[in-house]
Amino acid sequence: MKRRISAAMMVSGTILLLLSMIFSTVSFAAPDLGREESPRGVPLGQDQVCSDSSPPACRGQPVGTQIDDQPCKICAADPGGGGPVVHCHIAPCEEPECTSDADCDDGDACTGDETCVDGTCQAGTPPDCNDDNACTDDSCDPASGCVNTPNTNPCDDGDACTENDVCSGGECAGTDKDCSALDDQCVVGVCDPASGTCVPDNLPAGTSCSDGDECTEPDECDGAGACVPGPDVCGEPPECETDADCTNNDVCDGIETCVSGVCVDGQPLDCDDADVCTEDSCDPTDGCDNTPIAGCCIVDAECDDSDVCTDDACVGNACENTPVDPRPCYTGPAGTEGVGICQAGTETCSGNAWGECVGEVTPEAEICDGLDNDCDGEVDEGCECDPGAEQDCYPGPDGTEGVGLCQAGTQTCDENGQWGECVGAIVPADEICDGLDNDCDGSVDEGLGTTTCGVGECEETVDNCVDGEPQECVPGEPTAEICDDKDNDCDGKIDEGGVCGAPPPEGPPEAAPTPTPTPVVEVLGVEELPTAGIMPVGPALPLLPMVFSSLALIGGGLLLWGDEDE
């Protein structure tokens, strides 16, 4: 028995389909209103050529052409010309800034000589007005050039016997040091140019002087700094008659003698001990006195101030105790200075003691850094590798690397030059059901066994892994127990309940249900349909609800599930 479509509806989409194809392949081009061509074929808005109505020199020439017979004139488009053809006129062009160096002279002597390079003025090099004279102020006058104006600044003329040095007239000059405090009738104070100190200078013998006695004249200097009285001119009794009369209780002027009634000093005592570090003098009672001069010296040893932080030296008979400069220092083991990273430092002296050695580098524990840290002449001894280096590693059994999931990892060299842990390596593991070779033996999902479930006729056995997927064991469905020496109802018992030899059940057996025919759908072509629409046939009107709820559009025909056609 089959069931045919009793109604169909003809739907023609051919026209709509054709229209769709036409509109999808046809395009409409809009006119390009902005691309009008000029008669000469030059698109408007692009580089253009002057029209035949332009000045003769420009006709047919591109806009911007230089006019040969008119210097610095070019063909320029007339902005008010309009129209598709470019009308040009002759316009001035920009002239160069200069044609020679003379065009670039700015009249400023302080900017140097300007030059003309490729039509452009280039600045010159300003003059150096420094005359290396501290007594002039150096400047530059745009009109005349360098000007060195004398100033009145303090300065140093290099003369130890001048003071209050100051600039004057472009030169450094000072005032002579005043040594007049040492002046006497027969002595004049002078400045020692070597030391800059005032020293006495005896006037020559015979230089006129005065002893304060009007009855003795002429008085004269003796060349040793003393004024010697002249003869008595007052007619008084003679000062002496014998040498014994001439004792003046002054041992410094020697033994006096009586000459023509006048006591004359003898040879003065020579108190010079030839020691530059003593002040030589004569006491009228005690005679010569040679007092040591504080700070005076002859040799360096005399200048020791017992301070290790000074260099003691005798310079020009004067002690100089100069603070010592910092000195090199090294506290590391002998033989290591200057080896590897080891180097000396610097120590500074203060408070009569040398300070800490600063900046030195002494031996350290060797590390792998390309340096000789322990200063033994060897670099990175004991290092397996360079810090930061990497290498492949594989801790698994031989023959398994690169098989299945097994793969190498990476080791990194640590700061001590030792290889670190192998990171990222995959080694053999227990096989699991995942479609992969976990134990890296070349086989996939092997040895995972089987599983059995259920009893009796319900017993089932399955492989635990199939195509990388774990399997579930599901027992079979039990049936009614019959006498067949099997456990049909899967309760662990065979032929129980008297199924073997028991009386047949009372009453007729139940009739098997009549199978319901399966509807058959037949697709009718357009040519088989008598009309377009829904056409019920036969007595199957009760199926109309199903008909209207089961529409299907196939090709060009509308199919309805419906009534029976015997």
Judge whether 395 lies within some domain. no
- Please state whether 79 falls in left (phi above 0), alpha (psi between -120 and 50) or beta: alpha
Check residue 556 and give its pLDDT: 40
Specify the higher pLDDT residue, 504 or 331. Answer: 331
Check: CB of residue 549 under 8 Å from CB of residue 534: no
* Residue 464, in any domain of the structure: yes
Q: In the structure encoding, which two tokens stand for residue 97, read together? A: 């800034």
Lowest mean pLDDT of 255-264, 439-448, 504-513, 528-537, name the range: 528-537
pLDDT tens for 44-88 read 344 688 988 888 888 888 888 888 777 678 888 887 766 667 888
- Percent of the chain beyond pLDDT 70? 78
Least confident range of 35-44, 129-138, 227-236: 35-44
Task: Compute the distance between CA of residue 56 and CA of residue 71 in angstroms, rounded to an integer.
Answer: 16
Average pLDDT for the chain: 79
- 155 inside domain: no
User: Contact 259/242 with Cβ under 8 angstroms?
Assistant: no
Domain count, the chain: 3
Average pLDDT over residues 434-462: 93
| Angstrom distance (rounded) from CA 502 to CA 496 | 11
- Flag whether 116 is in a domain: no
Average pLDDT on 246-262 reads 86
Q: Which long-range contacts (CB under 8 A, 24 or more apart) does 237-243 make?
A: 237/261, 238/262, 239/263
The reply to whether 227 and 196 lie within a common domain is yes
The total of other beta-carbon atoms located within 10 Å of residue 135's CB is 21
% of the chain surpassing 90 pLDDT: 39
Least confident interval from 294-308, 319-333, 453-467: 294-308
Average pLDDT over residues 102-128: 85
Q: What's the whole-model pTM score?
A: 0.28
And the tokens for 490? 């899967």
Domain termination site, one of 497, 532, 554: 497
Radius of gyration of the chain (CA): 67
Residue 426's contacts (CB-CB under 8 Å, 6 or more residues apart) are 396, 405, 406, 407, 409
Q: What is the rounded CA–CA span in Å between residue 178 and residue 202?
A: 17
Is residue 224, in this structure, part of any structural domain at all? yes
Q: State the DSSP string of 211-273.
A: -S-TTB-SEEE-SSS-EEP--B-S-PPPS-SSGGGG--S-GGG---EEETTEEE--PPP----
Cα distance between residue 548 and residue 88, in whole Å? 83
Which tens digit of pLDDT belongs to each residue from 157-205? 888 899 988 999 989 988 999 999 989 989 999 999 988 899 999 999 9
Residue 220: which domain range?
A: 177-236
Q: Is 491 part of a structural domain of the chain?
A: yes
**Gap between the Cα atoms of 79 and 33, Å rounded:** 21
Are residues 221 and 188 part of one domain? yes
Residue 336 belongs to a domain: no
Phi, psi (deg, nearest 5) at residue 19: -60, -40
pLDDT, mean of residues 322-334: 94
Contact 4, 540 (CB under 8 A): no
- pLDDT score for 434: 93
Q: Would 137 be classed as within a structural domain?
A: no
Pairwise CA distance, residues 362 & 546, whole Å = 103
Are 492 and 537 in a shared domain?
no
490 and 530 together in one domain: no
Q: What is the spatial distance between Cα 441 and Cα 438, in angstroms, rounded to a whole number?
A: 8
